Structure formats: C-alpha cells, structure tokens
Amino acid sequence: MSAPVAIVTGGAGALGVAIATTLLDDGFRVALFDRRGAADAADRLTRTGEAIGVEADVSDEESVRAAVERVDTTWGRVDALVNNAGIEPAHSLEGMELGTWQATLDVNLTGPALMIKHCVPMWRRQGGGRVVSIGSRVWLGGGWTPAYSASKAGLVGLTRTACRELGPLGVTVNVVAPSFLHTPFNVQKAEAAFLDSYVGRFAEASPLGRLVEPIDVANAVAFLVSDRARNITGEVLHVAAGTQLAPAVQ
C-alpha cells in the first residue's frame, strides 16, 4: 500500500495504455479513466501491476468527482495525474458547428481543469503531487482543426497558471507535447492511402527522419512524474522528433 498512485485519463486508448504500462513498470498503481473500455484495459494490465478501470467522462464534473473519489476510497492518494483524454473531430472554421467547438474544448481543456480541481484536496492532504497533461505540437505551429489546436494551446496556459497556484502545495504541473502518433486515434481520421502519404511526409519533416511512438511519450511522462523532475514545473516537453521546429531554410 506504499506504492504511488497515478490516474491516466483516456486510459483505454493506445497512448493511455502505453502510459499506464510504463507507470506500472515503474511501481505505480494506476487508475485508468475512460468513457468506455477502462475496465477491460485495466484487466489486460493486471499482469504488470495493480490497475483499476474507472468509467469517467472528464467533461462532466459529477463524473470526475465520483471517479476521483473512487480512487481516494480505494488507495487513499493520487501521486500523479496524467491528463491524456482528448478528441479531434474534423472541421474547418468556415464550416464549424458550435457544438463541435464546445465538445472539443470540454474534453481537451475543461477536462484537465476539472481533474486537477478534484485532485487538489488529496495533494493538500498528502503534501504534493504531479500533473502531466498531454498536449500537442500544434499548440506552437497550428494544426488542421481549429478547436483542437486552440484547446492544446489553452492547455499550456492552464498548466502555467496551475503551476503557480499549486506550487506551494508541492505539486508540479507540466505538458508533454507529442507530434503525430500512428495510433487508432489518428488512423480513423483519414483514408489509408492519404494516411500512408502523410506519415511519410511527417517522417521526412523530422530531423531524425522518423515518427514518434507511444512509448516515447510514455517515457517522457514517467520522467516528469518522478522525483528526478521534482524541480521542473510550468514546462512544455516536446516529444516530436524535431517536428515542432519551423522548416529549415536552405
């Protein structure tokens, strides 16, 4: 019962599972939050450590409150919060419906704020904690979907404000900003032929000539929630194989 506890939202997805697996390997007990599939994902991870799945909608405050309360009742603490849940419905500014904009911000930006809010009492009680939110390189250079890009830029602002408020409690707050990941979350957005072409162009845009993988993001998260990063707060760590940079001018 002395092992640290982590919450990973969006825990049933490929990136959430990669993060949870890495934290379990590092000795954490992990609660996977997701609107669906959390219990099944946790069952698949029990061989590597102690995991539970909790049905939760991060855009709904009552759902967040109940889910965090379950973790408190089960394990009595939260040492690391990983805000990984996200959506990216396709749209343009010209054709955007207000509901699409609002739903994206509700999950991608309001969700992390609600998760932080409801974990604060435990951090105050136990004397510290860690927050890592999964952003995106698009916060810096823009992307193809306005609401998604705005939400990820807003997440950086939320992080920099939260680190000031929560620092006196011993809480660090950071962002890990990946580039394109070849996961089901992204594969479903386009036809296979277009996606293959896009993947190739993306790898070519990297100074390293390769794509980022979920384990790369998971390793960055694991570092930021560890004691090795105890004096890192308010930062954005790009895990983007260099694609967060503007193209080199030859």
- pLDDT tens sequence for the chain (250 residues): 689 999 999 999 999 999 999 999 999 999 999 999 999 999 999 765 699 999 999 999 999 999 999 999 999 999 999 999 999 998 999 999 999 999 999 999 999 999 999 999 999 999 999 999 999 999 988 888 999 999 999 999 999 999 999 999 999 999 999 998 876 665 555 566 666 777 788 788 899 988 899 999 999 999 999 999 999 999 999 999 998 987 765 5
Cβ–Cβ under 8 Å, residues 87 and 107: yes
Spot the catalytic one: 28, 123, 139, 148: 148
Beta-carbon contacts of residue 87 (< 8 Å; ≥ 6 apart):
103, 104, 107, 108, 148
Whether 148 sits among the annotated catalytic residues: the reply is yes
CA dihedral 144, 148, 154, 160 (to 10 degrees): -90
Which residue, among 7, 46, 13, has the nearest Cα to 30 in the 3D structure?
7
